[in-house]
Amino acid sequence: MTSALIIRTAGTNCDAELMRAFELAGARPTLMHLDRLVAEPRRLEDFDILGFPGGFSYGDDIASGRIFAMRLRERLYAGLREAASRGVPMIGVCNGFQVLVQVGLLPGPPAGEEWPMGNPPRQEASLAGNAEGSFVDTWVRVEANPASRCIWTRGLIEYFDGERAGAAVELMRLPIAHGEGRFVVENDRVMQRLEKNQQIALRYLDNVNGSQGATAGVCDVSGRIFGLMPHPERYLEWENHPFWTRLPGATRRGDTPGLAMFRAAVEAAGKGAPTGPRIASAV
Amino acid sequence: MPADTTATTPVSHLKVYRIEVAPRPGRADPAADSVVRAAASLSLPVASARTTSVYFIQADLDQPQIESVKAALLADPVTESASVGAAPVRPGTRVVEVHPLPGVMDPIAQSVKLAIRDLLGMAVEVATGRRFDLAGEGLTQEHAAALARSALANEVIQRVHLEPWSPAAFPQGRPHSNELRHIEIIGLSETHLEKLSRDAHLFLSLDEMRAVQAEYERRGRNPTDIELETLAQTWSEHCVHKTLKSTIRYQNDGNGAGGRGGASSLDADVLKWSGRPGHEIQPDGSVVIHNLLKSTVAAATHELIKDGLDWTLSVFVDNAGVIAFDDEHAVCVKVETHNHPSAIEPYGGAATGAGGCIRDVIGTGLAARPIANTDVFCVAHPDSYGGARSGAGQSLPPGCLHPRRILSQVVAGVRDYGNRMGIPTVNGAVYFDDRYVGNPLVFCGCIGVMPRDRIKGKVNSGDLIVALGGRTGRDGIHGATFSSAELEQSSADEFSHAVQIGNAIEEKRVLDAILRARDEQPQPLFSGLTDCGAGGFSSAVGEMGKDTGASVHLEKAPLKYAGLSYTEIWISEAQERMVLAVPHANLAVLRRICDEESVELAVLGTFAPPPGSARGDPDLALYFRGEEVGRLSMRFLHEGIPTPRREATWSGGRRAASETRVGGTGVSPVDTRVHQSRSLEQTLLTLLAHPNIASKHWIIRQYDHEVRGGTVIKPLVGPALSGPSDASVIKPVPRSKRGLAIACGLQTGMGDPSIAGAFADPYLMTLAAVDEAVRNLVCVGADPSRIAILDNFCWPSCKKPENLGSLVRAAEACYDAAKAYRTPFVSGKDSLNNQLTLADGTTIEIPPTLLVTGIGIVSDVASCITMDAKQSGNVLVLVGPVGSGLGGSHFQRIISSGKGVPAVRSAEHDLSVPRTDLSLGPATARAVAGVIASGLVRSAHDVSDGGLLAAVSEMLIAGSTPGQPIGATLDLGERDLDPIAELFNESPSQYVIEVVPLDMPSLKAALGGIPHAVIGRLDGTGDLVVNAQMSAVPVASLREAWLGTLDW
């Protein structure tokens, strides 16, 4: 059975629903405190998938995810690098996404380059304060990029095939809840690289936080490491949909889009790093 | 005499580094944009702003270390830049810096300190601040100072500088002598007893001071300072609810409710006085009530239990009320108020209100997991007082914060605490009235879930007294007694030490540790726990050790800084602390868990009779560094308080109507718009824009109401995600389809003579509030036979017989309503001194306010429904007793001070306050729940604020999208009723439901004898029409009016 490690710390608060997402998707989740992992970094080798949950790690003091990211970078990069090279799928949701970006795991090295030894890739993107200046909780319409290699959003793309295709647009919403979710990059070259490599795996149709390129989620060039501001783990059941009471019963069958993302990744985890031709060329 | 040795650290000679972190040029600065907007609202000429985070690090750092802290920790390399030292002030720019006062909780500094220790492996001291660089044509230093005071800082907890400011060294705690002090009480005259009570902030009554004096005369010595403080905390109104437990003589001294009756006897009253438990009707027509709480609110619950209601598990005895959820789980619920702290420091007051209520839930039984929060605010209308400087509107009473600031900040406080804890805030309300100007109400509720075998704890003699969580500081001293005192204009200065600032992440860590300790098998690691709330350790240990006795060694408490006296340690209300009773054998495992969760643990003493206790009456003994500094008998502490006798009078609403307009009426400026109105359309639009009715999306969207992934009916519903849901539904147990609905009822207007005039009656108000809470729950699919409710009374001073009289009537209604609806009260809280006295002696009393919170079980969330109109062609049915009385309604508010207009003349209407039908109301609730459960209802909404037309408007707004609007044509038919009253009454027990036409026969059959009438049909026009009365109003216009008022 695929094993998933959920890494928590003080202030993590979406760990239970992330655990449940993996469980429903057919994996065996384990929850571990960051301090324990820092003390025993070899434990990372025991897992097939890594999850970085949402919340307010260390209170989001200084900035969202800052201290969590600093500790991962300073203490655990070697192990994370090894896992990334091994093709271990990783997901960072909300605070977890903010963390992965600040560690340098996202967007990750340019195509064709290895994960660097020693220090992680330089931070090239950031999740800045929402354009409107305040925390916002709502559901937004999203669109998965069919050209992306992202193994997580593949579950969403498949959603548009088959019998539910007609209702898919209505169902393809995800909840957001954040104050700092505005995706920005260091300069235009970074954005061009992300576009070219199809690393922008998920975009907002309702760009409420003002993200550059309406970016909701980003993956590394392998498509296995993925971070997003919306919370797919809060959409595991049809009753989570913001107006499910209006949707016909027949539409509310099978996996929700949220669960489909985890299912796709759990299935991909067993299969090793894909070598598909979806990326045109390296930058 | 114990010598203080902890506070002798010499002043540090280490350097203090100042590091500034600011957005890179060209990067957006949303925080600065908010500052510019705040300045604009105050008419201050700020055209641009730049915000900078300032960190002070006291340590011996070398250059690479400073670079490392800057780059790896403090600044985002993409969006920010960091520099050491204060950046020069650019010409034409004004600088404001805001720094926390010494000793005020600074969570960011704590986190930075820990992170630097992790990064560099060295201990440093950290403080933080904020710098604002402001620019604008003609911006003076005075402007900058005004902005700082009004929007950027609160000088109760922060210091403002008008230039870059850095401390030369960090302040150190001053040593405290901690000399044992006795307070002279034996032989004091009554005058001196009263003076002592006031000067020492004890807030004990003369009777209580006499009881204390008698006890010490008996013991033959004077009390120590800490003994007197312990009594004051334990006997505070906040902790023992002495008013609600007092013996009350109640008199109807007017003509009965509404002044309609001719006789002054009780018989003319709508409230029936005979046969009430604990009540004695006297020959003179007065009523003596023994322990009001026990004889009304609690009596109803106990009678229901006796009558076979078997799903309450723990009521009125613990920190929260507990009911059965399913065979394995229980849910518990508590709602607290944090009014006075929020008046002085709204952000911290509301945050710690939320935090305290969450701790109440954690501290219930053997610990519950908090799973949902609620919040209700009562504030003055922001537009009543103009900008803080512009002078428009009335002038703000001195010492009061602007209501806009209060509302923004209390929302932010609740938001930051709940969101950080990972608890969804799912239900709330806001009620506006200018009499809340100096005394806003902040109700914070929390719901928890726990295994059914963890619902009761019992402290055993010999258990250790273990404190977990935050360190103890001087913050929050005298919160319990402060909240029991009346606010005065000088309160902000006198009680600034009562203000607490929260640190949600500390509480989250404590929660994580406690739940691990709870879930240890076969037994939890602790045998009881409670939170440190009002009164701090003194209340927590005093309460837990009531039966066992306790010995406490106060020097064992971890302190934030040196220099606290033993009394301050004992009564500090520093946040995020819990007290556990832990068997010796479990201490090591508990310590390991706490270490792993980074939670500080301290053993303060033992729950056991201290040597020298009397047989059967264990003492509470307090020690400091080996010396006994206090000793009290538990029996005297908990039972020695004399039962006060209080006078209560009721004279109908007439007296109050003439008096309560002091300090502003209940009518806000927006109301006056209707006076120019000529039509029903405008009346409706004015109602929808009324702040009480208008959309609260600005608030709701700031709360994470989805965290935990179990919110299945959200506060905002419908395809445009904007419909005001009657209740929220969560799934407490993720793997189960069983749900819990959460809602509230608040009907202040019906009891408020300023609104309902002579008809105002808190009895009717309370019945309607219970009915409203029930209806809200039923509308989403809750089972009305599984609803538990809570009361929160917020009243003006009940030392005044008239106010106590209205409180009595509300309490009697609680009894009647709870029994009629079979909705037991399971917990509650009161706050009975809500008024502001100004320097000139004027008192602004708040309107008597009763919040009823309800939780109801939903057997399968898949059968829940929402209030958004679903489908054109469907029929709208009004279910429930026909109402007509407009008393207390929002319609009455908007016409109350006008001369009347052709379409709406108050003189022509029935302005009586509607009476809840205690037989038909519950029957209607059951019938509506029945038709919802059988799938006959597509949407349901209760008729409340604004009446029928507002309810239908909300359903249409909720069900429409710009591309697919839903309209309706209403036809109320030929009923012999005042059409205005029909459209706008807020009479209880009415529901609007949407039904598919084909289902109408089944619906009629199912409703049987419950009054119901088809009132209209949904259509695709996108307009609302009322036949023969109101021409088409586009739903888009309704939406605009409803969304605009509070779209901040």
What residue of A is the nearest CA neighbor of B935? A245
Pairing of strands B158-161, B80-84: unpaired
Q: How far apart are CA A32 and CA A15, in angstroms?
A: 10
Q: How far apart are CA B111 and CA B119, in angstroms?
A: 12
What is the structure's pLDDT at B533? 87
Instruction: Pick A137's closest partner by Cβ from B79, B509, B701.
Output: B701
Cα–Cα distance list, A82 to A34, A78, A161, A267, B1037 (Å): 17, 6, 36, 21, 59
The pTM (predicted TM-score) of the whole model is 0.93
How far away is chain A from the Cα of B870, in angstroms, using its nearest Cα?
Answer: 7
**Residue of B99, B143, B238, B690 marked active site:** B238
pLDDT at B678 over 70: no
What is the structure's pLDDT at B258? 38
Give the pLDDT confidence of B929-968 residue by residue, as tens digits: 999 999 999 999 999 999 999 999 999 999 999 899 999 9
pLDDT bracket for residue B478 (50, 70, 90): low
> Is A233 one of the catalytic residues?
yes
pLDDT at B119 over 60: yes
Handedness of CA B900, B904, B909, B912 (dihedral sign): negative
pLDDT at B233 over 70: yes
Residues 6+ apart with CB under 8 A from A183: A125, A126, A127, A209, A211, A212, A213, A215, A216, A218, A229
Q: Do A136 and B709 touch (CB under 8 A)?
A: no
What is the structure's pLDDT at B721? 96
Report chain A residues whose CB lies below 8 A from the CB of B409.
none
CA B143 vs. chain centroid, Å, equals: 34
Q: Do A184 and B34 touch (CB under 8 A)?
A: no
- Number of other CB atoms surrounding residue B1038 within 10 Å: 25
What is the structure's pLDDT at B179? 86
Helical residues (DSSP H) of B624-668, grouped into ranges: 634-639, 654-659
Q: How far apart are CA B423 and CA B451, in angstroms?
A: 18
Interface test with A, best of B53, B74, B79 (most A CBs within 10 A): B79
Give the pLDDT confidence of B50-82 residue by residue, as tens digits: 999 999 999 999 999 999 999 999 999 999 999
Among 3.90.1170.50, 1.10.3720.10, 3.40.50.360, 3.40.50.880, name the CATH number for the domain at A3-271.
Answer: 3.40.50.880
Instruction: Pick A63's closest partner by Cβ from B76, B597, B713.
Output: B76
Instruction: Pick B33's closest partner by Cβ from A133, A177, A186.
Output: A133
What residue of A is the nearest CA neighbor of B718? A243
Give the pLDDT confidence of B521-576 residue by residue, as tens digits: 999 999 999 999 888 999 999 999 999 999 999 999 999 888 889 999 999 989 99
pLDDT at B433 over 90: yes
Q: Do A20 and B704 touch (CB under 8 A)?
A: no
**Residue of B99, B338, B340, B705 marked active site:** B338
Query: How large is the average pLDDT for residues B694-716?
Result: 97
Q: Terminal CA-to-CA distance of chain B, rounded, Å? A: 59
What is B240-303 written as a DSSP string?
Answer: H-HHHHSEEEEEE-SSSGGG--SS-SGGGSSS--TT-TTEEE-TTS-EEEESHHHHTHHHHHHH
Secondary structure (3-state) at B648: strand
Residues 6+ apart with CB under 8 A from B389: B42, B43, B44, B146, B150
* Residue B247, both tokens: 């013996």
CA B493 vs. chain centroid, Å, equals: 23
Give the pLDDT confidence of A87-103 residue by residue, as tens digits: 999 999 999 999 999 99
Report chain A residues whose CB lies below 8 A from the CB of B706.
137, 175, 177, 231, 234, 240
Phi-psi region of B263 (alpha: psi -120 to 50; beta: other; left: phi over 0): beta
What is the structure's pLDDT at B498? 60
Dihedral over alpha carbons B241, B246, B249, B255 (to 10 degrees): 10
Report chain B residues whose CB lies below 8 A from the CB of A74.
72, 118-119
Report chain A residues whose CB lies below 8 A from the CB of B68.
none
Q: How far apart are CA B755 and CA B660, in angstroms?
A: 10
Q: Do B866 and A245 touch (CB under 8 A)?
A: yes
What is the structure's pLDDT at A203? 97
Q: How far apart are CA B937 and CA B933, in angstroms?
A: 8
Handedness of CA B153, B154, B155, B157 (dihedral sign): negative
Q: How far apart are CA B863 and CA B933, in angstroms?
A: 7
What's the complex ipTM? 0.95
- Strand partners for B17: B57
Q: If you search the block for the tokens 């900008």, which residue do you land on? A: B387
- Host H or E run for residue B158: strand B158-161
Q: Terminal CA-to-CA distance of chain A, rounded, Å? A: 37
Q: If you search the block for the tokens 């990067």, which residue do you land on? A: B27
Q: How far apart are CA B858 and CA A152, in angstroms?
A: 34
- Strand partners for A6: A31, A51
Q: How far apart are CA A215 and CA A232, in angstroms?
A: 15
Report chain B residues whose CB lies below 8 A from the CB of A33.
596-597
Instruction: Pick B505's closest partner by Cβ from A56, A122, A126.
Output: A56
Instruction: Quote the mean pLDDT of chain B.
Output: 90
Q: If you search the block for the tokens 């060209």, which residue do you land on? A: B26
How far away is chain B from the Cα of A250, in angstroms, using its nearest Cα?
Answer: 13
Report chain B residues whose CB lies below 8 A from the CB of A67.
73, 111, 114-115
What is the structure's pLDDT at B178? 78
List the helix and strand counts (H, then E) for chain B. 33, 41
What is the structure's pLDDT at A159? 77
Interface test with A, best of B27, B52, B116, B419 (most A CBs within 10 A): B419
Interface test with B, best of A57, A61, A171 (most B CBs within 10 A): A61
Q: Do B112 and A62 touch (CB under 8 A)?
A: yes
Q: How far apart are CA B611 and CA B549, in angstroms?
A: 10
Give the pLDDT confidence of B384-414 residue by residue, as tens digits: 887 544 445 678 898 899 999 999 999 999 9
In 3D, which of B375, B309, B398, B355 has the Cα closest to residue B823? Answer: B309
Could you give the count of Cα atoms lying within 13 Å of B940 in the half-sphere of its Cβ? 28
Q: What percent of chain B has pLDDT over 90?
A: 77
Burial B856-871 (b: 16+ CB within 10 A, else e): bbbeebbbbbbbbbbe
pLDDT bracket for residue B259 (50, 70, 90): very low
Report chain B residues whose CB lies below 8 A from the CB of A208.
none
Burial B491-527 (b: 16+ CB within 10 A, else e): bbeebbbbbbbbbbbbbbbbbbbbbbbbeeeeebbbb
Q: If you search the block for the tokens 């090239």, which residue do you land on? A: A124
Residues 6+ apart with CB under 8 A from B254: B264, B650, B651, B652, B654, B655
pLDDT bracket for residue B652 (50, 70, 90): confident
Q: If you search the block for the tokens 């909240």, which residue do you land on? A: B483
**CB–CB contacts below 8 A, A to B:** 179
* pLDDT tens for chain A, residues 1 to 283: 999 999 999 999 999 999 999 999 999 999 999 999 999 999 999 999 999 999 999 999 999 999 999 999 999 999 999 999 999 999 999 999 999 999 999 999 999 999 999 999 999 999 999 998 899 999 999 999 999 999 999 988 877 776 767 777 889 999 999 999 999 999 999 999 999 999 999 999 999 999 999 999 999 999 999 999 999 999 999 999 999 999 988 888 889 999 999 999 999 997 755 443 333 333 3
Q: Cα-flanking dihedrals φ and ψ of residue A125, to 5°? A: -135, 170
